[in-house]
Amino acid sequence: MMGSAAAHQLKSAVTTVLFNERSGHIEVMHRFVLHDAEHAVTELFNKKQADIHTDEKTRALFAAYVLEAFAMQSLAGEPLALESVGYQVDGRDFWVYQETAIPTGLQGLRIRHKALQELWPSQQNLVNIEGRGEIKSLQFNQQDDWLTVTFSSD
């Protein structure tokens, strides 16, 4: 008989980096499978009961971990200071939100997304960049550090 552990084998997270010209901000939205987030809190922080649904401290702990695992820089390597906007449970997903002002003259991004890869070597972190021409995607595997995306100047 296949248990629930076998049913959920693909370890992945999806992040959207949205250039919102109206607000003047880059909005970052990370989506994790809730079960993975709870398992990670148990493993990473030696927390016996990791209940993101009901425990605010657990939600805050995992959100802070995500904020440390994700970073953006300009193509020249200048850090973009991301501010935490919040987090929430939405059905079977846990969302973490960040934002920063859109820098003048930004021609591309260097992005790092290492969340959960120290726990699960097969963890895939997909980052979709929207609002600067065509949607661009970066796929982070465990061996990846910084990946780069450039924007067309048209």
Convert the pLDDT of each residue in 35-83 to its tens digit: 999 999 999 988 787 889 899 999 999 999 999 999 999 999 999 999 9
Structure confidence at residue 154 (pLDDT): 54
| Cα separation values, 49 from 41, 60, 71, Å | 9, 14, 29
Q: Render pLDDT for 13-41 as a digit per residue (tens, 0 to 9).
A: 999 999 999 999 999 999 999 999 999 99
1 in any annotated domain: no
**Strand, helix or coil at 125?**
strand
Yes or no: say if 30 and 36 are a contact pair by the CB < 8 Å rule.
no
| Cα separation values, 97 from 2, 4, 22, 120, Å | 35, 29, 18, 23
Q: Total domain count for the chain?
A: 1
Number of neighbouring beta carbons within 10 Å of residue 76: 8
2 in any annotated domain: no
Percentage of the chain beyond pLDDT 70 is: 93
Yes or no: say if 128 and 135 are a contact pair by the CB < 8 Å rule.
yes
In this structure, which amino acid lies at residue 137?
S
User: Which domain covers residue 139, as residue numbers?
Assistant: 12-150
Structure confidence at residue 47 (pLDDT): 78
Query: How far apart are alpha carbons 3 and 7 in whole angstroms?
Result: 7
7 in any annotated domain: no
Is the pTM above the cut of 0.85?
yes
5 in any annotated domain: no
6 in any annotated domain: no
137 in any annotated domain: yes
Structure confidence at residue 46 (pLDDT): 83
